[in-house]
Amino acid sequence: ILNVEQSPQSLHVQEGDSTNFTCSFPSSNFYALHWYRWETAKSPEALFVMTLNGDEKKKGRISATLNTKEGYSYLYIKGSQPEDSATYLCASYSGAGSYQLTFGKGTKLSVIP
Amino acid sequence: GAGVSQTPSNKVTEKGKYVELRCDPISGHTALYWYRQSLGQGPEFLIYFQGTGAADDSGLPNDRFFAVRPEGSVSTLKIQRTERGDSAVYLCASSSLAGVYNEQFFGPGTRLTVL
């Protein structure tokens, strides 16, 4: 059973602060890591699909890095804004012939104006 | 274009009742997934379809849960004899093809409450 862990569980930051959080996953049989943002009352929105060790991806003020050898990914938000408040989920594939995503429990970010 | 839609958005039912949850995927997407998020947990995989067939149903918790996708588009998740532990947000997602590199597009979910 794949185990995906995220930390911290929740985070409060002031508007304008930069922040980051972690996703840990098994490094063996790695295929891909997905990051999602889930705002309350909305659909989870895909941020990044990361596949290669050393990958760095960026979307506006949000960026992510990937280390498949040690089994972790970081998500960074530069200059947090209130609209960044959401739960950030990461998910990985077991790769055992199935395309099911295994999610972490998420990091709930609250940006205080 | 239209995203993934799910109906109803909220469903309250009594223990022992039968419920159906509907998912309309993005047009042309052949892969469709169901997940369930219980309080304090991340979404958990239930089942996925490639076309009309269930390619992997290993996440269905027991035989009270069943899902169909008869024409390869709309899917219905069916839960018989509901229990309080079935209370959760049920999420549906679709992708153009099933694959580890393909983004899954999610609907807003159906919040099921079993009293």
B96 DSSP β-pair partners: none
Partner residue facing B45 (CB), from A45, A102, A105: A102
Query: A41 phi and psi, to 5 degrees?
Result: 70, 15
| pLDDT tier, B45 (very low <50, low <70, confident <90, very high otherwise) | very high
CA distance A65 to A43: 24
A55 or A28, higher pLDDT: A55
Give pLDDT, residue A94: 66
* Residue B90 C-alpha, separation from nearest chain A C-alpha, in angstroms: 11
- Which among B95, B113, B84 is positioned nearest to B21, based on CA atoms? B113
pLDDT at A96 over 70: no
Contact B93, B107 (CB under 8 A): yes
Which chain A residue lies closest to B99 (C-alpha atoms)? A99
Contact state of A100 with B40 under an 8 Å Cβ cutoff: no
Tell me which DSSP letter residue B47 carries.
Answer: E
Mean pLDDT for B51-74 is 94
* Residue B62 C-alpha, separation from nearest chain A C-alpha, in angstroms: 18
Give pLDDT, residue A99: 81
* Residue A60 C-alpha, separation from nearest chain B C-alpha, in angstroms: 19
What percent of chain B stands above pLDDT 90? 88
pLDDT at B9 over 80: yes
* Residue B100 C-alpha, separation from nearest chain A C-alpha, in angstroms: 6
Mean pLDDT for A65-87 is 96
Contact B105, B6 (CB under 8 A): no
Q: Is the dihedral of CA B59, B62, B64, B69 positive or negative?
A: positive
Give pLDDT, residue A10: 96
Residue for token digits 């008869």?
Answer: B70
Contact A4, A104 (CB under 8 A): yes
Tell whether A12 lies on the interface with B, counting CB pairs under 8 A.
no
Contact state of A46 with B98 under an 8 Å Cβ cutoff: no
Contact state of A100 with B106 under an 8 Å Cβ cutoff: no
Mean pLDDT for B87-112 is 92
Partner residue facing B48 (CB), from A41, A46, A99: A99
Query: A82 phi and psi, to 5 degrees?
Result: -55, -35
Mean pLDDT for A10-25 is 96
The mean pLDDT value of chain B amounts to: 94
pLDDT at B61 over 80: yes
Give pLDDT, residue B1: 58
What percent of chain A stands above pLDDT 90? 81
- In this complex, how many residue pairs, one in chain A and one in chain B, have their CB atoms less than 8 Å apart? 68
pLDDT at B64 over 90: yes
A102 DSSP β-pair partners: A92
Residue for token digits 């490639």?
Answer: B50
